[in-house]
Structure 1
Amino acid sequence: MEIWKLLLFIPACFALNMTPGPNNLLSMNNARCYGFKSAFIAGLGRISAFTVMIVFAASGLAVVLYASETLFLVIKLLGAAYLLWIAFQLWRSEASPMTEIENHRNHLGLAKQEFVLAAGNPKAILIFTAFLPQFVDVSTSVNGQFFVLGLTFLVLEMCAISIYAILGIYVRQWFTKPHMAKRFNRACASFLALSGANLLFIRQI
């Protein structure tokens, strides 16, 4: 892969990684509630979902999925419904504990939440079917280029997870009082609900 394409890809990709979407907001809230370690482990669920999508994109299956109106609609509806469900749960939740989770079952639950949220976001399908291919030269090894681009995307995504988790650690100091924590939960819930509603208006290109 030509180095100049990679140099163009990295800043554009990192801008996408850092977009304050539902997964990044979830990482920040997980860090605020449970600490950096738990938020980072939970973020690995998102990384797993994106890895599967990158493999699909490299094999051409993602293009088929994106071209299918029915499958795209199903993913869109499920993704929106899950986002709204998380928003509802967060809105009703009381102030969360400010301690690290040591229970591996809880870590797994947070990771599953990140995985489902990422897998049910049709914007992610758009990234891997419309954004990544722009940097692929079809005259050479496509799979090799997808591997480099995909690996770079995942590394940058882990950086974004870490940055949002650090932000979550920082803001937790502002919400030690239960009523302030509840307000923050409801603000996050409102943003997630808006994101879920926004998914319903995403259309195929």
Structure 2
Amino acid sequence: MNWQLWLVTAPFLMLLALSPGPNNFTAIYNGMQVGPVGAVVASLGRNIAFAILMLVSALGLGAVIVSSVFWFGVVKWLGVVYLLYIGIKTWRSAAIGLDEQADSTVVSFVSHYARIRQEFLIAISNPKAILIFTAIFPQLLDLSMPVAPQFLVIGVTFIFCEFLAAYIYAVSGKQIRRFIKSHKGMLRLNKGMGSLFVLASMLLASSSRS
């Protein structure tokens, strides 16, 4: 891929990465809980999932999933159920003041591994990601040049953009954190974020392959 084409493609990929969605909602919440660095570490999970989905798409299996009503539905409803589960879990989670968390010597209830796993499961069960890699990425290729190196460059650029997007959303979460210190504030936060995940599950449930 030549530099001119990459300079046009990279901003487009950044816009895709910055688009609101379950993983970026998670980055906001993680930014509130553990700060931007912890949220970026957690986003490793989504990028592992995206790397797998890009490989699947490059092998042609993504087109099979997109074209198959059954397999597209399987992936979609797994995502719906998982997002709904996260939404309910977040809504019902204990409201602990963030100032109390900062002073506590108790290890965090959710480890980095658990956050990485959560981001991975959200990303891997989102059929829209497969649609992006199967339908949009090929349109960014220059067919007069070898395809595989271009796909690799696009994939690496997209993953970098996802890390950057996670950081941006996490920073916004950290800013929100400054205004939430009390037990009541955390309770409202958990309900608000839980509602976002439930809404995301509803939107995913209503989505189609088109």
What band does the TM-score fall into relative to the shorter chain?
Answer: over 0.9
Give the superposition deviation at 1:103.
Answer: 6.7
Q: 1:67 to 1:172 in 2, by over 3 A?
A: same
Q: What residue is the counterpart of 2:190 in the other structure?
A: 185
Give the superposition deviation at 1:4.
Answer: 2.8
Q: What residue is the counterpart of 1:36 in the other structure?
A: 36
Q: What residue is the counterpart of 1:149 in the other structure?
A: 154
Q: What residue is the counterpart of 2:66 in the other structure?
A: 66
C-alpha distance in structure 2 between counterparts of 1:147 and 1:48, whole Å: 14
Partner letter of residue 198 of structure 2? A
Q: What residue is the counterpart of 1:45 in the other structure?
A: 45
Equivalent pair of 2:54/2:130 in contact (CA under 8 Å): no
C-alpha distance in structure 2 between counterparts of 1:139 and 1:81, whole Å: 42
C-alpha distance in structure 1 between counterparts of 2:184 and 2:109, whole Å: 29
- Deviation readout 1:174-204 (Å, 9 max, x if unpaired): 1101111111111111111111011112111
C-alpha distance in structure 2 between counterparts of 1:72 and 1:158, whole Å: 27
1:196 aligned onto 2:201: yes
- Deviation readout 1:13-57 (Å, 9 max, x if unpaired): 111111121111111101211222321211100110011111122
2:125 to 111, 120, 123: 120
C-alpha distance in structure 2 between counterparts of 1:104 and 1:89, whole Å: 13
Which runs of no fewer than 5 residues in structure 1 stay unpaired?
none
Equivalent pair of 1:76/1:120 in contact (CA under 8 Å): yes
TM (norm. structure 1) is 0.93
Q: What residue is the counterpart of 1:131 in the other structure?
A: 136
Q: 1:109 to 1:160 in 2, by over 3 A?
A: same
C-alpha distance in structure 2 between counterparts of 1:149 and 1:80, whole Å: 28
Give the superposition deviation at 1:172.
Answer: 0.8
- Deviation readout 1:63-98 (Å, 9 max, x if unpaired): 122112111000000000000000000110122454
Give the superposition deviation at 1:5.
Answer: 2.2
How much is the aligned-residue C-alpha RMSD, in angstroms?
Answer: 1.9
Q: 1:102 to 1:162 in 2, by over 3 A?
A: farther
Q: What residue is the counterpart of 2:8 in the other structure?
A: 8
C-alpha distance in structure 2 between counterparts of 1:76 and 1:69, whole Å: 10
Give the superposition deviation at 1:104.
Answer: 11
Partner letter of residue 196 of structure 1? S
Which runs of no fewer than 5 residues in structure 2 stay unpaired?
none
SS at match of 1:94: coil
**Which stretch of the first structure deviates more once superposed, 175-184 or 94-103?**
94-103
TM (norm. structure 2) is 0.91
Equivalent pair of 2:49/2:120 in contact (CA under 8 Å): yes
Equivalent pair of 2:37/2:167 in contact (CA under 8 Å): no
C-alpha distance in structure 1 between counterparts of 2:81 and 2:127, whole Å: 13
**Which stretch of the first structure deviates more once superposed, 173-182 or 111-120?**
173-182
